[in-house]
Structure 1
């Protein structure tokens, strides 16, 4: 764990920090309470040493997340959601004149069959959805892709065609101008549209619910 590391070596292995990160997220424990939780647990687990809250924060903030990519071709749902950088409400802004800190934007690709996330990227609110299609799906074997109208851009269709998906399930915008010779493809998309929209929403619902429940009071600044 200290290979190629500059400065003071780590005292706690990566697996221990991962355990602390899961405890922090799912039990909603601030870092000081997490330190106390580990101290109490050390009496029941031989060899368990509690880390101080500063170490927990620093290591957890730099924890690398390795999401396994499926080996087989999958149907993916791609979507994004925005979350506030802080959990303070509108009352704070109204009474104290605090400017809004902006939003973070979470872009996610989810396996429709298993509903497991297979890739995600975090950007600021100015990044468009279609910009993130290639970073999300570049290493994924895609059989089909379900996306809403925000991805109805030429670059997204070109990328999906390069992945071998001739007619991805991208919802066509109402004001889109369809080129000659593509009416049949448009009709097929409309026929599948309702079903694909529902599968997209269902696949993304679980991930968004998890993000809303585990987002800390203060998130990353961009």
Structure 2
């Protein structure tokens, strides 16, 4: 087997990994604590002890720790004078449970990329797989992400049983807000009439058995794909930009693993 000529710059790679995790934690809240808190308490009837941005840090801790453990961590951070005050169990629970997750506002004109991936709901380990096989009690959550191709921001992320339906809904929601969606990049899963009915330029490789007797735009797209062939079609349409959302999935799975675990809100 021929040895690959590619040589990874490990120093650069290691630095990128370090930077990734540095940016992942919302450390900025510690540096700007009082400014953020003053802004939150400006028109509040009840004065808060910690800014709402601190909730992101609490939620991240809760991926790995129960609420009682987080309370202990906050007490230690207060003693070390990293934060000015700790929070009790009830406050931590309330803040994490009622977090309002929002996505950045999109520009007036944009191109979007959609993709979905499966996340396992069990972590049986190699012994279970070897004894019972991969398909025994194998269950997955399907996660779909719609991303802004220009800004690299996530527009929508949700658990879905029908990625075509949820992606179309996201596009229509953007259009209802007055946004102009110029292109929609997707894989073969999204080769459906519903996608073409949005009126957006759809960049999707058609399925092998794709019919040319249905929606006019889809009919035209199928014929164009067959005429150009995959390689030329891919280059002319810029289909390669889908690596961005695939890279996002890869980064998430490398960081948190390829399975989910149950987190009890009341614990």
* TM-score, normalised relative to structure 1: 0.71
How does 1:47-196 map onto structure 2 within 5 Å? Answer: 47-52=84-89, 56=92, 59-92=95-128, 100=137, 102-123=139-160, 127-140=161-174, 141=179, 142-159=181-198, 161=199, 165=200, 167-179=201-213, 182=220, 185-186=224-225, 187=227, 190=230, 191-194=232-235, 196=238
Which structure is higher in helix share?
2
Task: Show CA shifts across 1:1-34 (max 9, x none).
Answer: 9xxxxxxxx9866433223124555xxx423553
Q: Secondary structure at the match of 2:197?
A: helix
Q: Which residue of structure 2 aligns with residue 20 of structure 1?
A: 58
Q: Does 1:204 align with 2:246?
A: yes
In the aligned structure 1, how far is the partner of 2:158 from the partner of 2:127? 31
**Helix, strand or coil at the partner of 2:144:** strand
Does the 8 Å contact 1:169/1:189 carry over to 2? no
On the 8 A contact 1:81/1:208 being kept in 2, the answer is no
Deviations 1:125-172 (A, max 9, x none): xx232121223223333111100000001111112x1xxx2x310121
The answer to whether the Cα contact below 8 Å between 1:77 and 1:204 also exists between their aligned partners in 2 is no
CA shift for structure 1 position 36: 3.2
Q: 1:87 to 1:48 in 2, by over 3 A?
A: farther
Unpaired runs of 5+ residues, structure 2, are: 1-39, 41-47
**More off after superposition, 69-78 vs 55-64:** 55-64
Q: 1:95 offset after TM fit, Å?
A: 6.2
Match of 2:65 among 27, 30, 45: 30
Post-superposition offset of 1:94: 6.4
Q: Which has the larger Rg?
A: 2
1:34-70, Cα deviation, whole Å (9 max, x unpaired): 3333222112145321333x76456424422111231
Please, what is the CA RMSD of the aligned residues?
3.7
TM-score normalised according to structure 2 size: 0.61
Question: Structure 1 residues 184 and 103 mapped into 2: Cα distance closer, same or farther (>3 Å)?
Answer: closer
Structure 1 portions without partners, runs of 5+: 2-9
